[in-house]
Amino acid sequence: MAKVLVVTSGKGGVGKTTSTAAIGAALAQSGKNVVVVDFDVGLRNLDLVMGAERRVVFDLINVVQGDAKLSQALIRDKRVDTLSILPASQTRDKDALTPDGVARVIAELREKFDWVVCDSPAGIEKGAQMAMYHADEAVVVTNPEVSSVRDSDRIIGMLDSTTLRAKNGQKIDKHLLLTRYDPARAARGEMLRTEDVLEILSIPLLGIIPESEEVLRASNLGSPVTLSNPESAPARAYFDAVRRLQGETLEMSVPSERRGLFGKWFKWRVA
């Protein structure tokens, strides 16, 4: 049965869009049929990160309002054929997303895909509520700093009260994804420790994504990091997170870049 997953946080700039692209791609790379949906109306970043911006013709709002069919708006990824994106509109009003229209589009997506991964806008207002309303599961993206943790706490409260599942008395599975984690700064005490974040938010840890230049490089290339550089530290962290999302139990670690002698030799050999 299809699963709807929302990637949410409250705070902006913590890595939601990056994580939506990487998680969606990693799920598709494992053979699942995946669509990533951009609910960040007005900003429209997901298509850029996915490298699909020049292929956008119709968007989520067109489909919600009945001006385009879903099949006209979905863009199939050129690298992984089980991955699609439903882009957001850059120009339209956020209020164009009506609850009934969104419900209809989500129901249609559930029939076509194994995973529907929704990228949420920042904040705790209507846009974020709309993105999480139909979710079965949530990835709460959090940076190891006080303001991000506080906003994640508020989002967890919303997930437990304002979603369709909550209203039906069902539980929504929540997973914590700690992103932009810098082990050196953590060791110097400049960031919150993982244990402290876990103690405050008390939801299970899905993964720890290290701060890495590879993420910026991937986004400039228009590619999820799991596709542009699958061996990189953030990509390996996302692959592990996605395996946990699918029920595997793996030891928790923060991947680091492989810069051993062998790595250099290997690079030299293939150059």
Ligand X SMILES: Nc1ncnc2c1ncn2[C@@H]1O[C@H](COP(=O)(O)OP(=O)(O)O)[C@@H](O)[C@H]1O
Binding residues for ATP: 11-18
Q: Which is nearer to ligand X, 61 or 144 (CB)?
A: 144
Q: Which is nearer to ligand X, 3 or 180 (CB)?
A: 180
Footprint on residues 57-96 left by ligand X (CB under 6 A): none
Residue 14 in contact with residue 119, Cβ under 8 Å?
Answer: no
Residue 143 in contact with residue 29, Cβ under 8 Å?
Answer: no
Alpha helices by DSSP H, listed for the chain, are 16-29, 46-49, 60-64, 70-73, 99-112, 126-132, 146-159, 164-167, 183-187, 194-201, 213-221, 225-228, 233-245, 261-270
Q: Examine residue 235 and tell whether it contacts ligand X (CB under 6 A).
A: no
Among 29, 152, 219, 223, binds ligand X (CB under 6 A): 219
Footprint on residues 169-208 left by ligand X (CB under 6 A): 179-180
3-class secondary structure, 215: helix
Q: Examine residue 3 and tell whether it contacts ligand X (CB under 6 A).
A: no
Distance CA(118)–CA(21), nearest Å, equals 10
Q: Examine residue 16 and tell whether it contacts Mg ion (CB under 5 A).
A: yes
The count of residues interacting with Mg ion (CB under 5 A) is: 3
Phi, psi of 216 (to 5 degrees): -65, -40
3-state helix, strand, coil in the chain (%, to 5): 45, 15, 40
Give min distance, CB of 248 to ligand X, in A: 22
Q: Examine residue 11 and tell whether it contacts Mg ion (CB under 5 A).
A: no
Distance CA(269)–CA(241), nearest Å, equals 31
Q: Examine residue 127 and tell whether it contacts ligand X (CB under 6 A).
A: no
Among 17, 148, 163, 226, binds Mg ion (CB under 5 A): 17
Give min distance, CB of 215 to ligand X, in A: 4
**Footprint on this chain of ligand X (rule: CB under 6 A):** 9, 12-18, 45, 122, 179-180, 209, 211-212, 215-216, 219, 234
